[in-house]
Homo-oligomer: A and B are copies of this chain.
Amino acid sequence: LRRPRVAVDAMGGDHGATVVTRGAVLACRELGVEVSLVGPEAALREQLTGVDAGGLPIAIVDAPDVVEMSETVSRATLKKRSSIQVALERVRAGQADAFFSAGNTAACWTIAKMVLGTLEDVDRPGLTAVFPNRSGRTVLLDVGANAQCKARNLEEFAVMGSAYSRGVFHTSSPRVGLMSLGEEPTKGSELTRDVHEVLKASSLNFVGNVEGHDLFTGKVDVVVTDGFTGNVVLKSCETLAEFMIDLIREELMRSARTKLGAWLSQPAFREVRHRSDPASIGGAPLLGMKGCCVIGHGKSSVRAVVNGIRTAAEFFTSGVNDAIEAELRSLGARKEAASA
């Protein structure tokens, strides 16, 4: 088995090339992956001089242009030699197995669609968030790629999310839930009522409608929703987690007693941050593309970059994309047979 090769957009993320380069070097050292670090060659060469990368399988690939975090998608797609585009082209050309960027999410997703295209039978790829739950991981999609969805899109999300949960988290028969206002199939929107029927008739392990609670209860492994709801939920939860940790820090600093308590409690807090931090889980896979793309948080730290590269490598080695294609093909065949 050869090492997974990950093309990394060195210019993505709020903290710039220094953090991404350090993360990429650590990933090579810790994970046994090969990295091509894509960005302006001279700048990256300078970054690498500062770190000990001797003997590691890390190569610089030149891409002179940079897509800014706040740049519009239409401008970003005009930069044909951007680090995002060049890194994705390496995946298309078979020079890399997977792509990671902590850059402009909308630009990554649009350029990936242009460069790689979607898997056969996929109408809309889904951006996927992974939440910690009481017993494992909950996969939620879509979290922002598709603000408006049709029933067919959520059906695809369910197939793709199941394949991802099975391939990467080794869930034997992923339980799929449809995000709604209550468990009753009649509650919710027109879309959820349509999707409920479609998923009930599918061969997936559909457990029915779920509520916001169930992202964290461990009742389901996969939750499907439209990209509007998914995006708002993801961002609310991210910020609430930070807010609570800040609140705790603030309160602990109020007295000598609690300051000592805080010091003694440090190992526990470190573990909580690790278990609840999306960075430790490692980026959002973009499911449904011809290729394995993972998009990290703009705020990604060095550790988050390492974990994002790990996620990209696992996405590739788990064979999720083959499973998605096979399942969508058999779904299409079943539908054709049913309508014949």
B-binding residues in A (CB < 8 A): 132-134, 144, 147-148, 179-181, 187-190, 211-213, 215-217, 225, 227-229, 231-244, 246-248, 251-252, 254-255, 257-258, 260-269, 271-272, 275-276
Contacts and interface: CB of A to CB of B under 8 A. Distances in A.
A213 B241 contact: no
Contacts of A269: 248, 251
A216 B243 contact: yes
A232 B229 contact: yes
Given A251-B271, A261-B263, A262-B268, 6 more contacts: A179-B232, A215-B239, A229-B229, A247-B276, A257-B264, A261-B265
B213 A235 contact: yes
A202 B60 CA distance: 53
A321 to B, nearest CB: 26
Q: How many protomers of this protein does the assembly include?
A: 2
A209 to B, nearest CB: 11
Contacts of A239: 212-213, 215-217
Contacts of A234: 212
Contacts of A243: 132-134, 216, 276
A275 B249 CA distance: 13
A215 B236 contact: yes
A233 B255 CA distance: 34
A18 to B, nearest CB: 25
Contacts of A235: 211-213
Contact of A148 (B134, B190, B233): B190
A259 to B, nearest CB: 9
Given A188-B147, A265-B261, A236 B248 contact: no
A187 B70 CA distance: 13
Contacts of A276: 243-244, 247
Nearest to A144: B181
A240 B258 CA distance: 24
Given A216-B239, A244-B244, A267-B257, A228 B229 contact: yes
Nearest to A149: B189
Nearest to A227: B181
A267 B258 contact: yes
Nearest to A270: B251
Nearest to A252: B268
Nearest to A179: B232
A282 to B, nearest CB: 18
29 contacts: A132-B243, A133-B243, A147-B189, A148-B189, A181-B232, A211-B232, A212-B232, A212-B236, A212-B237, A212-B239, A213-B238, A213-B239, A215-B239, A216-B242, A236-B237, A237-B237, A243-B276, A247-B272, A247-B276, A248-B272, A251-B275, A257-B267, A258-B264, A258-B268, A260-B261, A261-B261, A262-B268, A264-B264, A265-B265
Q: Which of A147, A246, A262, A268 has the most CB of B within 10 A?
A: A268
